[in-house]
Amino acid sequence: MILKHTGEAMDYLEQSLAIQSSMELVVALYDGMLRFLHQDVACA
């Protein structure tokens, strides 16, 4: 998602979507790391 830099405050929906997208990215990164580590430990 591309955030607007027009100097105007984002409305509630845009702000909510930006936060949700950021949270989904963080969760996906942690999920990937945990899956990788779990697979690495299982193979060791």
pTM, entire model: 0.61
Contacts of 1 (CB under 8 A, 6+ apart): 17, 18, 21
pLDDT of 10 reads: 62
pLDDT of 12 reads: 85
Q: How far apart are CA 39 and CA 10, in angstroms?
A: 41
pLDDT of 6 reads: 55
The 10s digit of each residue's pLDDT in 1-39 is 455 555 556 688 888 888 999 999 999 999 999 999 998
pLDDT of 3 reads: 55
pLDDT of 37 reads: 92
